Amino acid sequence: MLSNSLWDRIGGMGSFGVAGIIIKRKNFSESDRILTVMTRNLGKIKVIAKGVRKITSRRAPTIDLLCLSQLQIYEGKTFYTLSESVLINDFCLLKGSLKKIRLAFHVCELTDALLPEEQAHKEVYELLLKFMQGLCEKDISISDFEIKLLKLLGYWSKELEGKVNNRYYIEEIIGRKLRSLDSYR
């Protein structure tokens, strides 16, 4: 169910459009998926996409992991529910490199693990989008992204620079090991 503050921000509308980056997906029932989407104005939200695992689904390619899509969603009992989707950017240039895919998965895992749901974080959305776009063009430092994200969320101070291993520090914050880096480092 939507929190009152979030419901107020979207104006109490039944159905609305939102652009977002798909940062996580989980199979749910025979034909559905639960998506975790990072948006500019709503923050991190959960969206159920009904029927997208069916072979005949036309929406499946538009809501793939690491895609920026325009979503038409409405409030459900537990999650938002997807009614329509349009692909904006599939970041296909980064999907041609295993190293870049691993980096993209890592930043998505960090974003999902560190952000609470349904709290607007425009700066984090912009950082994630800029990272994904930049990664398509060249190699980008993962350490810079980690530090910028930690700073935006209030977990980083100048005293930590050069004194901590980012990975272990992040794992301490989230209380578990990072999965995306097991095969990267």
| pLDDT higher than 80, residue 6 | no
CA distances from 66 to 23, 27, 45, 177 (A): 6, 16, 15, 21
Domains of the chain from N-terminus onward = 4-89 (2.40.50.140), 94-174 (no CATH)
Tokens 């930590």 sit on residue: 160
| pLDDT higher than 70, residue 182 | no
Task: Give the phi and the psi of residue 31 in degrees, each rounded to 5.
Answer: -130, 5
Q: Which of 64, 70, 26 is nearest to 46 (CA)?
A: 26
Contact 89, 104 (CB under 8 A): no
Task: Give the phi and the psi of residue 84 in degrees, each rounded to 5.
Answer: -145, 155
pTM: 0.86
pLDDT in tens, 15-28: 899 999 999 999 99
Q: Which of 94, 99, 120, 111 is nearest to 170 (CA)?
A: 111
Rounded distance between C-alpha atoms, residue 133 and residue 136, angstroms? 5
pLDDT in tens, 49-86: 999 999 888 888 899 999 999 999 998 888 899 999 99
Residues 95-120: what's their mean pLDDT? 93
